[in-house]
C-alpha cells in the first residue's frame, strides 16, 4: 500500500483512476468500516484503484492550535487501512488555506486527483465554512458519488465522538462493540520500580505510551498485548499504584504465562473489558492475593470471537 502526503496546491503525484472514500477516520470504527468495505467493493467492480483519502494534521490543531488526543495515530490508521487491502492512502495536508477551499475548488481537486467514484457518509462536510455536503457533491458531474447511510447502534450514529467518552469512562467493552475490534494503545516498554518482579513476584511491563492516545479511565482491565507479532493474554493496570503511593500515572501489563526480558521493545496494549477499580491495599500480601485472583479471572475469560478475529486481522502481520 502506498501512503502519499498531498499538498492540494501543488499536485505532483501520478494519480491513477480510483474509487476513494473520504474522511478523518479517527479510530476507524464500525461506521467507517461500512464506507471502507463499500469502497473496496466498488473499486474492484469498476477496476479502479482502492483509495482512502484522509487529512493530517487534525483540523483542531490548525484552528485551535491545540494537540488533540485520538483513538488512533496516523500510523495506526495506515495499518488498519492496509489490512483492508487499500492500494493507496492519500493524506491531504490540512491547513487554513485547505479548509477555505470553495466547494468548486474542492471538486476540482478531487477531479485532478483522478477520483472516479467518491464514497462518503451521509453527513460528510467539506470546503469553506463546511458549506459542502452530499447535496453539493451530487450536483457536480466530474465523478460519481456514493453516499452511505448512517450506521447506527441503539438507534444512534456510531461516531468517534461517541466512542471517546466511553473510553474515558472505562466502558471499554462498549467502545469495542462500536469500534468492531479491541481498542489499543502502543509505545515502548520502560523500566518501572521493579516491585512487580522483586516484591510481588508478578512481573509487569510498563508502557511508555505515545501521548496522542486517549487513555482509558484508571483501573484494571482484561486484555492482551502484542509483542513481536505475537498476541498474549494480559491484565493491565492504569493508575498510581496507591498501595505504594506512586506520584505519577503508570500503564502496566502482567502478561500471562510469560517470563522474558522485553525492556525497550515496541508493544501494544489491548483493552477488552474493565475488571475493577485500582485499590489501596493494607499490605503487599493483600495486593498480591488480589492480583492472583485477577490472573485467574483473565485466564478463564473467553473474549468475543468476532472482536478477537477483527483485531487479529488488523494487527497480526502475515
Ligand atoms: C493487573 C494489575 C492490577 C493492579 N492493581 C493494583 C491495585 O489495585 N492497587 C495497587 O496499588 N497497585 C496495583 N497494581 C500495581 C502493582 O502495585 C504494580 O504492579 C507494582 O507496584 C509493580 O510496579 P513496578 O512495575 O513499577 O515495579 C496492579 C498491577 C496490575 C498489572
Ligand atoms: N456511523 C456512520 N455511518 C455512516 N457514515 C459514517 C458514520 N460515521 C462516519 N461516517 C462517515 O465517515 C466519514 C469519516 O467520518 P469522520 O471521521 O469525519 O467522522 P465521525 O466518525 O462521524 O466522527 P466525529 O464524531 O468526529 O464526527 C465521513 O464521510 C462520515 O460521514
User: Which of 116, 135, 157 corresponds to the end of one domain?
Assistant: 157
What the block records as the C-alpha cell of 141 is: 458531474
The pLDDT tens digits of the residues spanning 284-308 come to 999 999 999 999 999 999 999 999 9
Q: Which of 234, 241, 251, 282 for a ligand 1 pocket mutation test, highest count of atoms within 8 Å of Cβ? A: 241
Residues 6 or more apart in contact with residue 120 via CB below 8 angstroms: 21, 22, 23, 35, 134, 137, 145, 146, 147, 148
pTM: 0.96
Rounded CA-CA distance 105/79 in Å is 30
Domain end marker among 123, 157, 191: 157
Q: How far is the CA of 194 from the centre of ligand 1 (A)?
A: 11
Instruction: Return the residue whose CA atom lies nearest to atom 10 of ligand 2.
Output: 121
What is the ipTM, given to two decimal places? 0.95
Q: What pLDDT, in 10s, does the model give residues 12-65? A: 999 999 999 999 999 999 999 999 999 999 999 999 999 999 999 988 888 887
Q: Is residue 128 part of a domain?
A: yes
**Is 174 found in the same domain as 222?**
yes
**Domain end position, chosen among 127, 157, 187:** 157
Residue 123 sits in the same domain as residue 8: yes
147 & 227 share domain: no
pLDDT digits (tens, 9 = 90+) for 120-136: 999 999 999 899 999 99
Whether residue 193 sits in one domain with residue 129: no
Nearest residue CA, atom 30 of ligand 2?
A: 121
User: Within a domain: residue 298?
Assistant: yes
Say if 31 falls within a structural domain.
yes
Amino acid at each position: 500500500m502506498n501512503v502519499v502526503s498531498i499538498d492540494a496546491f501543488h499536485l505532483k503525484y501520478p494519480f491513477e483512476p480510483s474509487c476513494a472514500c473520504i474522511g478523518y477516520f479517527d479510530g476507524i470504527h464500525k461506521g467507517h468500516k461500512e464506507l471502507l468495505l463499500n469502497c473496496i467493493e466498488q473499486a474492484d467492480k469498476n477496476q479502479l484503484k482502492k483509495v482512502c483519502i484522509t487529512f493530517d494534521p487534525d483540523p483542531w490543531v490548525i484552528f485551535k492550535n491545540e494537540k488533540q488526543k485520538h483513538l488512533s495515530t496516523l500510523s495506526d490508521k495506515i495499518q488498519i487501512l492496509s489490512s483492508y487491502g487499500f492500494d493507496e492512502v492519500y493524506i491531504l495536508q490540512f491547513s487554513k488555506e485547505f479548509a477555505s477551499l470553495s466547494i468548486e475548488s474542492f471538486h476540482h481537486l478531487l477531479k485532478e486527483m483522478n477520483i472516479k467514484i467518491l464514497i462518503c457518509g451521509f453527513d460528510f462536510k467539506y470546503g469553506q465554512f463546511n458549506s459542502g455536503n452530499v447535496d453539493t457533491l451530487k450536483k457536480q458531474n466530474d465523478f460519481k458519488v456514493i453516499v452511505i447511510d448512517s450506521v447506527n447502534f441503539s438507534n444512534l450514529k456510531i461516531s468517534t465522538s461517541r466512542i471517546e467518552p466511553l473510553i474515558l469512562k472505562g466502558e471499554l467493552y462498549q467502545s469495542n462493540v462500536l469500534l468492531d475490534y479491541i481498542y489499543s494503545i502502543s509505545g515502548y516498554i520502560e523500566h518501572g520500580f521493579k516491585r512487580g518482579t522483586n516484591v510481588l513476584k508478578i512481573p509487569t511491563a510498563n508502557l511508555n505510551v505515545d501521548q496522542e492516545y486517549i487513555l482509558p479511565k484508571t483501573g484494571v482491565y482484561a486484555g492482551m498485548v502484542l509483542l513481536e507479532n505475537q498476541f498474549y493474554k494480559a491484565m493491565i493496570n492504569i493508575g498510581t499504584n496507591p498501595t505504594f503511593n506512586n506520584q505519577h500515572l503508570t500503564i502496566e501489563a502482567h502478561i500471562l504465562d510469560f517470563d522474558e526480558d522485553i525492556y525497550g521493545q515496541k508493544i501494544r496494549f489491548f483493552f477488552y473489558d474493565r475488571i475493577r477499580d485500582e485499590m489501596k491495599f493494607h499490605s503487599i500480601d493483600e495486593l498480591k492475593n488480589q492480583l492472583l485472583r485477577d490472573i485467574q479471572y483473565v485466564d478463564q475469560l473467553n473474549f468475543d470471537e468476532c472482536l478477537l478475529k477483527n483485531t487479529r486481522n488488523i494487527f497480526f502481520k502475515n
